[in-house]
Amino acid sequence: MGAVNLAIIHYPVLDKRGDVVSTSINNLEIHDVARSCMTYGVDLCYIVTPLDRQRAIATQLVDHWRSGYGRQYNPDRAEALEKISIKKSLAEVTQELNGSQPVLIGTSSKRRENSIGYSELARWIPQDRRSFLLLFGTGWGLPPEIVSSCERTLLPIAGPGEYNHLSLRVAIGIILDRLFGDRKEANAQ
């Protein structure tokens, strides 16, 4: 079984009109996703934005908690933030992972032709020597050129109704739980 990594894309992503835009990095997103990665054994979460100032702010945040007073005050948070790596582009991420030739898995709030279910992917990952890179689009999601570069796309998360506007932070937690959560532990007896 290879490593499992995530990439959260801030550019290029779609806005509500379907135009390609850049979204802002968000402090809580970094903390929440880092803690989810720790909980579910994800190797690294890449936060991707081409904007220098955004990367500088994110790096400063991560450094604050990883060292100095932040680390002393809350070591669990420091440990989780070791999971975060700030990158300029998806190309930079895949270049770093290139030795492991990662399988690209997209995510979407819509069902796609190459959709794959959670249990199918959960069975596949431990059987493959390659690493996996799960891609998440902020804003209104990943643009077609990224979706089409993915080998498969995870099925959208469905609740009992029609509404499917989960926050990305929460959706990432749910997806990791469906793939790697300890379901045997999920019963008291």
Please state the length of the chain.
Answer: 189
Number of neighbours of residue 151 by Cβ within 10 angstroms = 12
Q: Is 24 in the site for its own copies (CB under 8 A)?
A: no
Of residues 122-181, those binding its own copies (CB under 8 A)? 155, 157-161, 163-167, 169-174, 176-178, 180-181
CA nearest neighbour of 172 among 57, 66, 61, 28: 28
Question: Which of 2, 3, 21, 38 lies at the binding interface for its own copies (CB under 8 A)?
Answer: 38
Stretch that binds its own copies, among 95-103, 118-126, 127-135, 136-144 (CB under 8 A): 118-126
Applying CB under 8 A, does 107 fall inside the site for its own copies?
no
Distance CA 38, CA 172 (A): 13
Residue 89, exposed/middle/buried by CB under 10 A (0-12, 13-18, 19+)?
middle
Kindly list the residues in this chain that would bind its own copies in the complex (CB under 8 A).
Answer: 26, 28, 31-32, 35-36, 38-41, 76-77, 79-80, 115-120, 155, 157-161, 163-167, 169-174, 176-178, 180-182, 185-189
